[in-house]
Amino acid sequence: MLELHDITAGYDRRTPVVRNVTLAVAPGEAVGLLGPSGCGKSTLARVAALLHRPDSGTLLLDGEPVRRWRHRAPRAHRTVLGVVFQQPRLAADPRLRLTDLIAEPLRATGRRDEIPHSVDELAAAVGLTRDLLDRRPHEVSDGQLQRACLARALVLRPRWLICDEMTAMLDASTTAALVAAVENYRAASGAGLLAVGHDQLLLDRWCDRTLHWDDLAVGAKTKPAQPTR
């Protein structure tokens, strides 16, 4: 299970953007998180991805409490999570070719021998042709770059995938292709999914269940925050 319990988080402890929110994603389950822009759902997604330490609350991975975040998190925690962000141009090193972008996590974890096979396999799975792999971000479209970012998120075969507004900037055909690639991966791997967005129709069609931010945040202002464990 990927479990977030009573999470309060933000960028100023005096004014947190997430207050006392709890949610869980079971293995193989697809959960949508629906909310308007600026409500705090992306901050919660960053907490779930170990990219932002909460002010209080507990994150559990398969029952084990997470105690370290970002680069301090154990490799065993970081490598079971794959993340795709809304804006691929902010998430990609502009100096890297797409093939190197996809291979980044393999190099970082000392698995260079897997690069040729994994990159070719995932490029095909997300719809990137071989000629695109030698291009840099400024030489491809937003949709093509987001395909590469999805392939990068999948290259370590994560057990949990977090898609934060992954398709918000894309056209309908690219959105359909990326959602299909995620679902093919989940069907083959049994991975769980947390899909964050503001398009209820997409989330309802994509996910097993959709959580509404307003429902998660009910009573948040009246509940005292607990210290991070």
Q: What is the mean pLDDT of the chain?
A: 92
| Chain segment 114-170, per-residue pLDDT in tens | 999 999 999 999 999 999 999 999 999 999 999 999 999 999 999 999 999 999 989
The bridge status of strand 18-25 relative to strand 30-34 is unpaired
Q: What is the pLDDT of residue 218?
A: 55
pLDDT of residue 229: 40
Give the DSSP per-residue string, 184-225.
HHHHHH--EEEEEES-HHHHHHHSSEEEEHHHHTTTGGGSPP
- Residue 2 scores a pLDDT above 90: yes
Span 207-225, pLDDT tens digits: 999 999 988 865 444 444 4
Across residues 165-181, what is the average pLDDT?
94
Nearest to 86 by CA among 137, 45, 39, 127: 45
d(CA 202, CA 176): 10
- The reported pLDDT for the residue numbered 59 is 96
